[in-house]
Structure 1
Amino acid sequence: MAGRIRVGIGGWVYEPWRGSFYPQGLRQKDELAYVGEHLTATEINATYYSSQKPATFAGWAKAVPDGFQFAVKASRYCTNRKILAEAGESVAKFVGQGLAELGDRLGPVLWQFMATKAFDPDDFGAFLKLLPASVDGVPLRHALEVRHGSFDDPAFLALARDAGAAVVFADHDEYPAIRGHDVGFSYARLMRTRANEPIGYAPADIGRWAERAKGQAQQGDVFTFFISGAKERNPAAAQSMIVALG
């Protein structure tokens, strides 16, 4: 059975989206619900910077329709450290803050590493062992976004595969575009939207991303996010890809 393709953006609070993506006058507290009506996923960025309350996650889950999912960006206290193997306490705190409240709206957890973080096989392997398979009965799927060229290494890909973690594919001018193994779902972050392109990417490129997603869906769920770049264009890019997927 083919997986489900979800397409979204990073977050939902961004001033330039008001009046371009969001209708003029839409209340800020209704913006997430609007994202839920027009897209199929979004990344939660707030969790990268600080812990949230369980009630906050429950509120987010209620705001979006069935089938919509959130990717949750893991705390920087887990990933921005010299020795990743020592992140156990931070990982437990992050996972235990209330992620389970998202229930079936919980998509992958995004573990994002600094562009200066190089691949250390022993340390990274120890870190992967810290990532739990579930929290309070809710299964967890893990996606690894690495930004240093040293990760373009079969040893890293094997570690990720054996841990069941997806390797995030980045479309970016500087970060490596690493393709990982099939682990039952895939995750792409498309970061080259341009302000002079009404839908961020050229229509032919949007079509190619859609075809790529359809191919990957044969192996499981697919998550594609338009983030950074010309951020004001990202909702249009995501909507255009949803149209292209038919």
Structure 2
Amino acid sequence: MIYIGVTGWGDHDRLYGDGVSKRDRLREYGAHFPTVEVDASFYAVQPKRNGEKWVIETPPSFQFVVKAYQGMTGHLRGENYYKSKKEMFSAFHDSLEPYQKANKLGMVLFQFPPWFDCKRENVDYLRWCKAEMGKVPVALEFRNQSWFAPGMYEKTLTFLEEEGWIHTVCDEPQAGVGSVPLVLATTNRKKALVRFHGRNIHGWQKASGGQNWREVRYLYRYNQEELQQWVSRLRKLEESAKDVYVLFNNNSGGDAADNAKQMIDLLGIEYSGLAPKQLDLF
């Protein structure tokens, strides 16, 4: 099955219109898409009560892709509230319990920063992370080209497969060492992950040092031809993985939800089990 959704559910104004309050957005979101990426977990390990609330607000078959906390992937720049990495991972594990109990945890996404390059120290850390996550399905996304450089391409994919990581296929600007190429491969027979970041090369480079990176990095709207190219690619991934999760992250201009709906139409998918759309009061 191909699950299509977007990253987060709070910013997609055109998806909801004026009649849906912010507190009801996830309920309404579930009427449009069968999966979503939880990005709040990147900025802080979420209390269980949030996961419990989100699980209740979504249909029984709904799937969450939970982004790993920034302290787990080397992004943390503020205060560290944990005494050790072990304690940090333990707290994150606890936060996943509501999704697991409801059978709504698609996977956890570890997205590493551009400075996380291909070297022994980082390979060892990936092994440690995988061991700490245990049986939780985990996806891995790189932001450094060295992992797929000549001579490392096949080694990286073999490593992911042997260690049990879900390879994240990325559609993103090809902007040098701080981006990865399109690697149309699966490393897990049960699950695959595809993330659409847009193709705004200027914004991708500019955002690396700017304060308003959110406004420029993902400012891109895929056209019909670009999305059509992905139909056969997604079908190919579906042949080697039981479930393929597709997330659109190109939302600096509010385009992610529109592009996700276009992709659903292009694939001819009609999801069953979505939430009923909210009706007007009058």
Q: Is contact 2:5-2:260 (8 Å) kept?
A: yes
The one-letter code of the counterpart of 1:58 is E
Give the direction of change, closer, same or farther, for the CA distance of 1:134–1:114 in structure 2 (3 Å limit). closer
Higher mean Cα deviation, 43-52 or 73-82? 73-82
| Match in the other structure for 1:177 | 181
Which structure 1 residue ranges, 4+ long, deviate > 4 Å from structure 2?
A: 132-135
**What is residue 39 of structure 1 aligned with on the other side?**
33
Report what 2:228 is aligned to.
207
Counting matched residue pairs gives: 229
Q: Deviations over 1:13-41 (max 9, x none)?
A: 11xx32x2212121111111111110121
Match runs of 1:1-246 below 5 Å: 4-14=1-11, 17-18=12-13, 20-80=14-74, 87-96=85-94, 98-102=95-99, 103-132=102-131, 139-152=135-148, 153=152, 154-173=154-173, 174=175, 175-179=179-183, 180-184=185-189, 185-192=191-198, 200-219=221-240, 220-228=242-250, 230-246=252-268
- CA deviation profile, 1:97-146 (whole Å, cap 9, x unmatched): x21201311111100111121112353234324325877xxx52111111
* Mapped contact 2:141–2:168 kept (Cα < 8 A): yes
Distance 1:170 1:51, change over 3 A: same
Per the alignment, in what secondary structure is the counterpart of residue 117 of structure 2?
A: coil
- CA offsets, 1:167-206, max 9 Å, x none? 2111111311252443122111111178xxxx93111222
Contact 2:63 2:106 in 1 (8 A): yes
Q: Conserved in 2, the CA contact under 8 Å of 1:42 and 1:225? A: yes
Offset of residue 81 of structure 1:
6.6
Q: Quick check: 2:231–2:267 contact (8 Å CA) kept in 1?
A: yes
Conserved? CA contact 1:193–1:234, under 8 Å: no
- For residues 134 and 51 of structure 1, the distance between their equivalents in structure 2, rounded to whole angstroms, comes to 15
Q: What amino acid is aligned across from residue 203 of structure 1 in structure 2? A: Q
Q: 1:69 to 1:215 in 2, by over 3 A?
A: same
**1:23-74 CA deviation, whole Å, 9 max, x = no partner?**
2121111111111110121110111011211121011111111222110000
**Whole-Å Cα distance in 1 between the matches of residues 32 and 147 of structure 2?**
35
Structure 1's 178 and 106: CA in aligned 2 closer, same or farther, altered over 3 A? same
Give the TM-score, by structure 2 length. 0.74
2: distance between equivalents of 1:227 and 1:81?
A: 18
Q: Deviations over 1:134-161 (max 9, x none)?
A: 77xxx52111111111111233222211
Structure index of larger Rg: 2
Contact map agreement 2:157 2:187 (CA 8 A) in 1: no
Relative distance call for 1:68 and 1:81 in structure 2 (3 A) is closer
The alignment's TM-score, normalised by the length of structure 1, stands at 0.84
Sequence identity, in percent?
23
Contact 1:70/1:108 (8 A) holds in 2: yes
Unaligned segments of structure 1, at least 5 residues: none
